[in-house]
Chains A and B, each alone.
Chain A
Amino acid sequence: MTAPEGQPVLLELSGVSKSFGDLPVIAEANLKARGGRVLCLLGPSGVGKTTLLEIMAGLLRPDSGQVTANAPPSMLFQDNLLIPWLNALSNVAYILPKSLTPDEAKNRALRWLGAFGLDPAKYPRALSGGMKRRLALARALAADRPVLILDEPFAFLDDRWHELIATLVAEQAQSGHAVVISGHFVPERLSALLPDRLDLIAVPSQPIGVSLP
């Protein structure tokens, strides 16, 4: 059994609160994303999981509280955020660091597109909903950041892809990345692969006031 306390904290939320108008969505949330572990936020749609993840990623500013991270994370967005006029290869290569040479960037993008069974030459308009989701996942994983935030990674995909994503997520955690996942469930495959590295947090209703030591 791997004790959570023994793993390095790569991203931390301390007393984070966020409201939209009069509606409090997050109230005093305290979370730690640790390297080598997968933090799962489980709850129904519309409860504020995406808001919490976007605060973690630095895309939304909290009303109060603090977000501390060693490096900016990589994120799978709920709405994919694909660039319509770039093909799959360019969509992935778009976010890769400029320190990579063009060949290195291309090879890395092709490797992840291949892992998700995607044609690098296809444009988003030619992809189904599930394929777009896989392309967005390939992009998030290709970024290779210490913290990986995945907003509903299993949505729009069938069991076959659940298995693959669960395997990839497990590999990320086993190689020291901190992974944060939101969704309605945890696939059995992920539980089987990482029986002692999952931190499950239920967020059944608003405002989210979760705490994880």
Chain B
Amino acid sequence: MPGSHNNPPTGGATKKWPTLASALCPYLVSLGLWAVFLLVANLIIGPALAPGPLSVLKTIARLALSGVLFADMAQTVFRALMGVLLANLVGGVLGLLAGRASWALKVTAPLVASLQACPPIVWVTIVMVWAGTGSMVPVATVFAATLPFVFSNAAQGVMGLEPRILAMGKLYGVPAARVWRLFILPGIAPFWLAGLSPVLATGWKAAAVAEFLGSHDGVGAKLYWSYQGLRMEELQAWTLALIILGLTLEGAVITPLRRKAAGLAARGAEAT
């Protein structure tokens, strides 16, 4: 194209900034609305029970500089991820097996539906009674709260596979390991990815609730201790930490996963 070698590229770095700004804009607006809410509450209720946004930000800075903020955030993230990982291992294997036998799915459907509807508080209570307080409570709660989602996504993924391709594999004597590696696992990947985003969101919330009620540390537990001591700056600071972590999870992990899953599903649909 004439002139294409002579003209310096104009897009590149300059184009990235508006993209980044437009991506950050909704988050900044949300934080701004939160600050307005704190300000209004501060004016109506008073600083003792509703600290202003500035004192909350100062508290966050103090917690961050002391290292407590990051240590507890890491603790909560680790527990949530452990629970999700275990749920994926157990629920994934069970779901894959159930997806191959429609009767198994039919038999377990009511149980899975009721487990999906079960609030995390049920699991928190049971685990606290059985195992006392500590890391076990959030990990087990996240595991129990996310297991049915993983199970039903894996089972639906297997059921969505073309059964005649499986039959073709049998006709040609394709080894089971090859069938799993090249057909079944890639075939259920879009379902698994699509299911992972609600699983992570549910796991994150369940971890915070479980820590609030049944743990000594982590962001949820810090919320509880702030509430117990009526340290309202800290309460708001930990709330903000939870919200920021949740938004980071949504923006950095869940949204890309959702896009990837939609892309994979579209590719599979248009291919045959």
Contacts and interface: CB of A to CB of B under 8 A. Distances in A.
Chains A and B come from one and the same complex: yes
A161 interface: no
A94 B171 contact: no
Contacts of B268: 84-85
B187 interface: yes
B267 A125 contact: yes
Given A57-B171, A72-B173, A85 B186 contact: yes
Contacts of B172: 72, 74, 95-97, 143
A74 B167 CA distance: 12
Contact of A94 (B164, B167, B182, B272): B182
Tier of interface size on chain A? 20 to 34
Contacts of A98: 175, 178
A112 interface: no
Interface residues of B, number: 21
A73 B171 CA distance: 8
B164 A84 contact: no
Interface in A81-103: 81-86, 90, 94-98
A138 interface: no
The DSSP consensus for interface residues of chain A is loop
B178 A81 contact: no
B165 interface: yes
A59 B172 CA distance: 11
Contact of A83 (B173, B182, B270): B182
A75 interface: yes
B23 to A, nearest CB: 30
B166 to A, nearest CB: 10
B271 interface: yes
B168 A123 contact: no
B164 A79 contact: yes
A81 B165 contact: yes
A94 B271 CA distance: 17
Contact of B271 (A85, A97, A143): A85
A85 B267 contact: yes
A37 B172 CA distance: 22
A154 interface: no
B31 interface: no
Contacts of B270: 125
B272 A95 contact: no
Given A95-B168, A95-B169, A95-B174, A124 B271 contact: yes
Interface of A: 57-59, 72-75, 77, 79-86, 90, 94-98, 123-125, 143
29 contacts: A57-B171, A75-B171, A79-B164, A80-B272, A81-B164, A81-B165, A81-B168, A83-B165, A83-B182, A83-B183, A84-B267, A84-B268, A84-B271, A84-B272, A85-B186, A85-B267, A85-B271, A86-B182, A90-B182, A94-B169, A94-B182, A95-B168, A95-B172, A95-B174, A96-B172, A98-B178, A124-B271, A124-B272, A125-B267
Report the 8 A-B pairs with minimum CB-CB distance, sorted nearest first. Answer: A84-B271, A125-B271, A95-B172, A124-B271, A85-B186, A84-B268, A125-B270, A98-B175
